[in-house]
A and B are shown apart, each in its own frame.
Chain A
Amino acid sequence: MFDLLPLDILTTLTFLPLIGAVVVLVLPRERANAARWVALGFSLVVMLLAIGVFIEVQSNPPGIDEWAFEESFIWFPLLNASWHVGVDGLSAAMILLTGILMPLAILISFEVEERVQTFMALFLFLETGMLGVFIALDMLIFFVFWEIGLVPMYFLIFLWGGENRRYAANKFFLYTMAGSLGLLLATQFVGLAVGSFDIPTMIAQWPLFEGDGGKILGLDVNVFKYYTLLGFTVAFLIKIPAWPFHTWLPDAHTEAPTGGSMVLAGVLLKLGAYGFLRLAIPLFPREWVIPRQIFSLEYNLVDVLGLLAVLGIILGALAAWGQNDFKRLVAYSSVNHMGFVVLGLAVAALMYGTLWARVNNDYRLLAGVAGIDVPSGQSAQQVVSQLYPDERITEDRDNAVLAMNGSVLQMFTHGLTSAGMFLLVGALYHKAHTRDLRRFGGLWDIIPVFGGILVFTSMANLGLPGFGGFVSEFLVVSGSFKAYPIYVLLSMLGLLVTGIYILKGIQKILHGPYNEEWAEYDRTEHRLEINLREVIAIAPLMVLILVTGLYPSWVLDVINAGVVRFLGS
């Protein structure tokens, strides 16, 4: 049964960091440096594997109902759970992002001086959790790894955080635990109803699940589905974080060590959006788009999701503008940028539901989605196929493909830029011991290299054309405009404010009258200028951001394969 290499590449990829964590822990206590380099070494090997996975998916994108590197064997027969893993274009991009960011975050964490071994072990443990989520094709595995991603982060904030770390760590923990609770319950219900925790099986069966004559556990099946949807969605919205579930993020970021912030913003937030793509949208195609009523106001859940996205974009940007703590400013910028991810997801969910209705010939639902009133006495099929013919569905599908490509690309580019921004915040804080923007000013003369990199990364964060963030935001805007013109126009207001807070960050640190305090500081203590290790850590990010902006194809091809697969048929 055991070959020489008993495990497939995905399993190896996922558990290698865990083995690394064990190795780091058993190293002798006094060898702090050894722990650092071993951790870096393991993460680099994982990175190579991740690149390997990415390249494989790039050259052979899996078709519909196929998975690259698929592996499946029974794990807990009692629970109908199996070790089922595999990747498609969407997860391959996320795995690549994780693989690239981890070594850089570990390199930055070399500055951690206390309990180095534990720190590094937690970091590697965290990587296992994140990669596990991206490869999981079984609901239970997904959940286990989802939770694993939570615990190390809690300790990273709690043990290596700043002054207010207890509050921040607890808030982080409670928020995400609350989400996980709903996720766990929803998972159990769906799994038990379908009789399997296998994600593809659930996706195939759950949307059509009728229960016992429309009842399940004595509840109406539609009501039941609605609540399970909420269970999934709230967990993912908290993780993203979408407005109004975002208030844990600024606190967690402000207190987390630099490396932790990089991973938190870079990868952990993407878990939520990934959850939408893998579970929340495909499991509930009907529930997302079915018209509902509140106080005679007609709406559907996708509209609500889009609204939350727009609120996140606008209010996130405004909140970032009002900050004087540089790290809080950058943290709120994540709320702002992830709003575009959510907007793209809303359009994708809308289209997924439409296609599902069309494929299953549910014309009444289709009429509801398209906002067509079917006069009584006429068949829905006739009216709908006249007013919303297949060509128009195809047209709208093309738009949704744009929006969803943009959404996933935004996950990728935001991962790179926000990690870069947090790295810079950390690089400055580590030397100046303050993040208060009001205390800096006019520093460009004494920190020219830092200044240049800051302007570069800030502009990438702003979504300046030529950087990856622009391509993704443009695609989301373009693809969403037909479905949600008002949302898009409102989100432009948010993008406007994005400009203000980005410039505020640059200006408060680099421009303005020279703050003599720092000149003195620069002479007497250490230099404020960014050091070589930090430059090495941010250089790959800068290169990737620029390359993605100038030639997005290299990653977009893979993402697009995943999107086409998602919105196929």
Chain B
Amino acid sequence: MNINWFDADYLPWLIMLFPLLSFVIIVLFTARSRIVSQFVALAGIGIAWVLSMVEFVKVVWASDAELGHEVFGSSIDWMTLGTRTFEMGVLVDPLTAYMLLMVPLACLLIFAYSVGYMRSDPHYSRFFAYISLFAGAMLTLVLADNLLLLFVGWEVMGLCSYLLIGFWFHKKSAYQAGVKAFMTTRVGDMLMMVGIGYLFIVARTLDFREILYNEEMLAHLASTPAVIFGGSAAALIGVLLVAGTIGKSSQFPLHVWLPDAMEGPTPVSAMIHAATMVSAGVYMVVRMFPLLSAGADFHAGDFSAPMIVMGVIGSITALGAAILAVGQNDIKRILAYSTISQLGYMVAALGIGAWVAAAFHLVNHAFFKALLFMASGVVIHAMEHGQHEAAEHGDEHLHHEPEQPDGLVMDYVPPANDIRRMGGLLDRIPVTAITMAIGGLSLAGFPLITAGFWSKDEIIADAWHGAGEGYLLALLVVLCLLAAAVLTAFYTARMWFMTFWGAPRTPAAQHAGIGSFRNAWVRSRWARARRLEGVAVSHQDRSSALWMEVPLIVLAFLAIFAGFIGVHTDFPLLGALDNPLHEFLGGTLLEHPTAVDFNWLPVLASSLLALAGLGVGYWLYGLRPLGAEDADPAEQALGAGIWRVLENRFYIDILYRRYLVRPAEWFAVNIVIQAIDKETIDGVLETIGEAFVWLGEFFKRFNTIVIDGVGDGIPGAIGSFAGWFRQVQTGRIQQYLLYVTLALLALGALMFIQIR
């Protein structure tokens, strides 16, 4: 067979191969060399990125008249069950192509950033092996042409997140967070596995082409009654699949793992929050949307069960997480809750059928969230550096990794992550400050110029339209999302101003910095302009800062411009771009989705709310920057009681621990092992054993009294036999065995005699 591997049908295999290959190479061969491992990892993801771009271009060019009506892919026979063959393969349609635009690029930037960020880590090679596997798994998931292969990527990512969140495995909080992430997502994964299994026996296939691109199949699924719980098979499968997303994309009530996941190194957080893990959950429901909405005409307000679940869960999550983000002081934890909230937007969008908008927001969010996380990583690096400097200068006693109390204490914040201890970092890490501002504005949905605005606005516009038609679900979604939008803008502003604005609140912040030649130059001009004195240039490796800052700049660019491809055609001026995204992605669905009519109201509403949130943030934290001794105005405004609830994350984590995990463990140890296995089952056995011993005793007595009295002849005979037998019974196992073997050989000989 002659395969042109650079054909658009076969290229996807290569795309996912290279990062996986990097993983294998690092683990088996190059783990000892940091430089080689780093190079192998970068090469793997770099090649994957280049090939993805080639593939993307091929997909776009393949059908210039009508974008995206051709699906590329190839498959192999994977297993045969009964007489049916299961095929495993890859598929690239417009949705996949759009993801290929984001995933490899974001991964590549994160890899590059890691070179700088992880430089001093003793497990440097291992880190690159893990993230290569992570990226490979995500690409597998995106490129899969069936749910089973998608699930393989899905679960391997679960493993990677476990290993990476617990990367600093000596730290209790780290490995516990890893376990928490793995187990919480596993709850969803197991339900999803049942969903896939059920789909497999109803549809007899898991191939996307045969299910999603096949009207008959969808109708069949929607008309088959489910085996349990009532409803249609499609609805049951859909709800089970959505359960997978609730776990993976950290939706309520399985959202608890994501805020803890920041225990991993910061590039991992960027990986999890942007390019891979949580995006995978949303990607899956976006991908399976035709199935999730099968049998329901959602344009007419008839939402299917999975859609209702998504709409409600997404709305609750978007609003709830935004509220929680307001009450956090850990810079990474604020971002973590904002991720949960933004994922809620996407899930809610799918719930009301805003399919294109969900995909659009998924990609935009990945760009600006990767940016925000990596920028926060620089902030933390700078703060850690500042702590060391401050300790050297004697301004502050350096507490070496203060030991956390047993278990995960909810309101514990590592000092280097604590925004209350920052302030004034704008002058110390200006590139980071500016790029982070761009990312923050995109997250807040700053009107017109940011990517986040366009995608968020499209979701709200769709929900607005639905609410206008009088659909309750859409009304719920639009209310929750608008409320969340204000809060998002507010907590973003709070985070940014508390970190970068005003004067340093601690000596650590005073001495913070990552240092580099270029940075020093910028800083000197900057310093002169702002008349700052005595800012020391730190001596950290200069290239390391470069590795970290270049990805930030690239992502800042994307956080602005990635949005213009999806502007509504009727929007003044920018509408002239003709909304290529909608056209392109629409080809993925059977029925080309119609964009809702352009409406000024939602655009104005979301713009004003974003500006209002930012404005309040500026008013509280920007106009009069927080001093070292000042109390947090938000805390004052809300009161200590509510603040406490927010810091403790609505007590959900504690609830799970106290009423689910601990009782289950108690049940395992005390009931299953002790009461059932040891006492009941073994108890019965021992009783039987004792009964036999007693019976033996009885017969022995019986023997001595009755039988011994009968005759001495028999015992005599037995005695002589026993004397002979005692010689046989030497107590040596070898001899016993020899006898057994001999006996068997004799049997064998007998057998042949019989044949003759």
Contacts and interface: CB of A to CB of B under 8 A. Distances in A.
Interface of A: 1, 15, 18, 21-22, 25, 73-77, 83, 115, 117-118, 121-122, 125, 151, 155, 159, 171, 174, 244, 246-247, 315, 318-319, 321-323, 397-399, 401-402, 405, 442, 444, 452, 455, 459, 464-466, 470-471, 474-475, 477-479, 481-482, 485-486, 488-489, 492, 495-497, 499-500, 503, 507, 510-514, 551-553, 556-557, 560, 563-564
B620 interface: no
A25 B755 contact: no
Interface string B515-542: 0000000000000000000000000000
10 contacts: A25-B738, A25-B741, A118-B737, A247-B677, A318-B672, A455-B163, A474-B197, A482-B201, A485-B227, A564-B83
A465 B193 CA distance: 11
B197 A398 contact: no
Nearest to B155: A465
A489 B82 contact: no
B746 to A, nearest CB: 13
B34 interface: no
A402 B81 contact: yes
B194 A398 contact: no
B153 to A, nearest CB: 8
Given A171-B685, A322-B673, A481-B198, 10 more contacts: A21-B737, A73-B755, A74-B755, A77-B754, A174-B689, A398-B201, A442-B170, A474-B148, A478-B198, A495-B190
B182 A499 contact: yes
Contacts of B200: 402, 478
B714 interface: no
Interface string B681-717: 1100100010000000000000000000000000000
Contacts, number: 182
Interface stretch (B40-48, B208-216, B301-309, B662-670): B662-670
B134 to A, nearest CB: 14
Contacts of A399: 201
Given A247-B677, A482-B201, A553-B80, A514 B170 contact: yes
Contacts of B637: none
A401 B179 contact: no
B655 interface: no
B154 A465 contact: yes
Contact of B81 (A76, A401, A442, A495): A401
B152 interface: yes
B182 to A, nearest CB: 6
B159 interface: yes
B228 interface: yes
B518 to A, nearest CB: 37
B175 A492 contact: no
B82 A118 contact: no
Nearest to B227: A485
B741 A22 contact: yes
A479 B201 contact: yes
A510 B733 contact: no
B170 to A, nearest CB: 6
A140 B193 CA distance: 43
Contact-residue bracket for chain B? 35 or more
Interface in B77-92: 77-84
A398 B431 CA distance: 62
Contacts of B751: 75, 83
B172 A477 contact: no
B733 A159 contact: yes
A244 B668 CA distance: 16
Q: Which interface residue of B172, B201, B756 has the most chain A CB atoms within 10 A?
A: B201
A475 B200 CA distance: 10
B618 to A, nearest CB: 44
Given A398-B84, A492-B193, A552-B79, A513 B170 contact: yes
Nearest to A77: B754
A397 B84 CA distance: 13
A557 B84 CA distance: 11
A418 B751 CA distance: 38
A427 B191 CA distance: 36
Contacts of B183: 496, 499-500, 503
Interface in B649-671: 664-665, 667-669
Contacts of A482: 198, 201, 227
A22 B748 CA distance: 14
A75 B754 contact: yes
Contact of B197 (A75, A118, A478): A478
B169 A318 contact: no
B78 A560 contact: no
A497 B204 CA distance: 29
Contacts of A321: 665, 668
A444 B668 CA distance: 28
A81 to B, nearest CB: 11
B81 A25 contact: no
Contact of B156 (A77, A323, A465, A564): A465
Given A75-B754, A466-B156, A552 B78 contact: yes
Contact of A489 (B194, B669, B685): B194
B50 interface: no
Interface in B163-183: 163, 166, 169-170, 172, 175, 179, 182-183
A315 B676 contact: yes
Q: Which interface residue of B155, B162, B191, B196 has the most chain A CB atoms within 10 A?
A: B155
B405 to A, nearest CB: 14
Contact of A485 (B172, B228, B737): B228
B744 to A, nearest CB: 7
Contacts of A22: 741, 745
Contact of A465 (B151, B179, B228): B151
B155 A466 contact: yes
A557 to B, nearest CB: 6
A401 B681 CA distance: 34
A459 B137 CA distance: 15
A289 to B, nearest CB: 19
B159 A464 contact: yes
A1 B752 CA distance: 10
Contact of A117 (B159, B734, B754): B734
Contact of A481 (B27, B201, B733, B737): B201
A134 B175 CA distance: 45
B668 A511 contact: no
B186 interface: yes
Contacts of B574: none
Nearest to B154: A465
A490 to B, nearest CB: 11
Interface in B363-404: none
A151 B733 CA distance: 12
A247 B668 contact: no
A402 B201 contact: yes
Interface in B334-362: none
Contact of A511 (B169, B186, B228, B744): B169
A130 B37 CA distance: 46
A560 B81 contact: yes
B197 A74 contact: no
Contacts of B162: 503
B681 A247 contact: yes
Contacts of B196: 474, 478
Contacts of B676: 244, 315
A511 B155 contact: no
A1 B685 CA distance: 52
A91 to B, nearest CB: 19
A174 to B, nearest CB: 7
